[in-house]
Structure 1
């Protein structure tokens, strides 16, 4: 198995939780994180080596990443495992899955890349790489069926983990926040490159919001110590060190549950915020050269997962040059102040939660067992 970042580690751990009871003595190894390790997974390389995003950012680490990919490919071709499961990280994992499948090793990919949003031509590449695709959104099944690729809809794993009615009071008590405070959670991303480009705009927005309402409280969960150190350094460099942002190690779900509104980088976290039924503003900035290329490659008007699922702008998105501190702050302020808007967003996200709810651990494990000829009774 290969998972390339914290969201993939969480997804893979859900699959492993369903699979391990059926395969108690199996050797699961590859690349993964701490959540996978809890189910006996052995990581041959640190997962952080793959946690790079953006065209030019990846190029800077290309030699090292390609070396890991080649070494793992050669190891697996020699080992001939019962199956290979790539969890997200499509560019890295398809590069492994294609030669493994050609050599007769069953390959599964967990979470479809966003072919319905951009680069639809990848479906031909996927057909060569993947023996079976696990998808987490219901509309994706038909895409793969039409392409002749075996597919199973397993639901979105976090729809099971996140309660339908989050306990806001408990989350605030856990974080030492007052029940009556108005709280904004700031999530600039888990990757170092995301923190690098989003921090100044996100914390600048917090500064402007605090000027409007000095009683506002801000929390910023970080994925690790390195991310926190970079976040703090970037705040200082931007002259924002005095903005009262409380930095948390991990605890992103508690921060989402506690928040009245969330300022979040585009990515998996946007759907987590939606499952917590919170108003949010989606922002994203990247290396200008990467943006110059990527902005022409999409063919939907949305980038945030909640908006894509809803097929409309349920929450606002501000990308690259539009993601200014003033624009982000104005949008968050509207969500804090407009209770009718807040209620409408909660209702839409509640519907979304029900649509995504399945027993993902069981469904995904059954698909793996079928793939390797070990179907459970």
Structure 2
């Protein structure tokens, strides 16, 4: 009886709740929100996200700046904010069930929300699926029980979810929609005073504060070594929208005179990658962004020793960089934990900066990765799949009116009784 009341309540509101927990999810969520509103302007979108989702028309209930962490130890620093967001969202779903919940990546949090939503009879769509093919495959049972539709970014995920009985659809990767025109790139170069022919190294230290604090100092040390060796002219740091620039400036204060060779570009990852001959990139979606734009890269990552110890026992995939996962083989170097040293980064990135053959060979491999991601239009296909699940605006309105009449009849019957 409780589930039925929740389902009827959902249909009385043209609301969809979208939940992302970090910068890449916020970017995907922003594109998805725009695509949804283009197709159905009557929708009311709200949820958890960041600047991109807010700009796209999502009313934010909580901001991702307080939620984006990775690792068992690292999550402890933000557990209060995460728990507060979970409790608030759970209460909101119970009080006013939306037409659907759309979960974007952020699996540890979102799978719990999926369980709550399912209990209230709310349809659950998952966009950017948990990487069960890489680690913790036991989550498949929970996903099958809680998710009504899984929208996949990678074609190879289809078999995994189909075999588990999860309704799914491959929509492709939204990064392919991020076209950067030559005109935009010329404006970027002028804004950051890049001279033609300069050897530029891009640094993408991640979208979470802990990532930046752990990765950027070593990245900068490597860049300084490359500059001292005459292999590098300029450094561009792509600051994610979720990162306080002050955190990056603190790291730069330790570089002394080398600071004059470094430029921080906030919210301009695509511009940084396009302008760079090579890039050093934190593990995550940004590695695929580099592949899409054809920028040779070195993937790096480091977490706490305890998190690394646990991860080694849970991760089953042979590769960590998404570029290598999609390719099915080692295309880009992976420097993780103890291997992530300034010396190793300088050696790998330096080769890409000065060796034209090495850079060209990697670009050819990255073109294959880009082709494997599908065609542009992922956000549009995802929006259409969500609206199909909900029904068209006309169908939804008819259903709303039908349930309103039913509710009215129930009320009259109760009064007569």
TM-score (norm 1): 0.94
Closer, same or farther in 2 for the Cα pair 1:288/1:242, shift >3 Å? farther
What's the RMSD between the two structures over aligned residues? Answer: 2.1
User: In structure 2, which of residues 363, 383, 407 is the aligned counterpart of residue 346 of structure 1?
Assistant: 363
The residue aligned with 1:369 is: 387
More helix by share: 2
Aligned 8 A contact 1:283 1:318 in 2: yes
Partner of 2:269: 252
Looking at structure 1, the residues matched to 325 and 20 of structure 2 have their Cα atoms a distance apart, in angstroms, of 24
Of 135-144 and 30-39, more deviation after overlay is shown by: 30-39
Worse-matched range after superposition: 107-116 or 338-347 = 338-347
Which residue in 2 is equivalent to 1:359?
377
CA contact (8 A) 1:267 1:305 kept: yes
Larger Rg: 2
Q: How does 1:31-110 map to 2 (within 5 A)?
A: 31-110=48-127
Conservation of the 8 A alpha-carbon contact between 1:154 and 1:358: no
Supply the distance in 2 between the matched residues of 1:354 and 1:181 (Cα, whole angstroms): 29
- In structure 2, runs of 5+ residues without a counterpart are 1-17, 396-417
- What is the CA–CA distance in structure 2 between the aligned matches of 1:235 and 1:292, rounded to whole Å? 30
Aligned residue number for residue 42 of structure 2: 25
Q: Aligned equivalents of 2:180 and 2:155: distance in 1?
A: 20
1:281, CA displacement in angstroms? 0.6
Contact 1:107 1:132 in 2 (8 A): yes
Runs of 4+ residues over 4 Å off in structure 1 = 163-171
SS in structure 2 opposite 1:181? coil
1:1-377 matched pairs, under 5 angstroms: 1-162=18-179, 171-213=188-230, 216-224=233-241, 227-236=244-253, 239-243=254-258, 244-356=261-373, 357-374=375-392
CA contact (8 A) 1:281 1:331 kept: yes
Quote the Cα distance in structure 1 between the aligned partners of 2:53 and 2:162: 30
Give the C-alpha shift of residue 119 in structure 1: 1.1
Query: 16-25 or 133-142, which moves further after superposition?
Result: 16-25
User: Higher mean Cα deviation, 164-173 or 115-124?
Assistant: 164-173
Unmatched segments (≥5 aa) in structure 1? none
C-alpha contact 2:158 2:168 (8 A) present in aligned 1: yes
Is residue 64–residue 242 contact of structure 2 (8 Å, CA) maintained in 1?
no
The separation in 1 between residues aligned to 2:54 and 2:151, in whole angstroms, is 21
Structure 1 pair 132–375 and aligned structure 2 pair: CA distance change class (3 A): farther
Q: Please state how far the C-alpha of 1:2 moved relative to its aligned partner.
A: 0.8
Residues of 2 paired with 1:19 and 1:65: CA distance? 27
Q: 1:18 to 1:215 in 2, by over 3 A?
A: closer
Question: Aligned partners of 1:158 and 1:138: how far apart in 2?
Answer: 15
Are the aligned partners of 2:298 and 2:345 in contact in 1 as well (CA < 8 Å)?
Answer: yes
- The alpha-carbon deviation at position 206 of structure 1 amounts to 0.5
Q: Distance in 2 between matches of 1:165 and 1:132?
A: 38
Question: What secondary structure, in the 3-state scheme, does the structure 2 residue paired with 1:2 have?
Answer: strand
Of 343-352 and 312-321, deviating more is 343-352
Distance in 2 between the 1:194 and 1:147 partners?
33
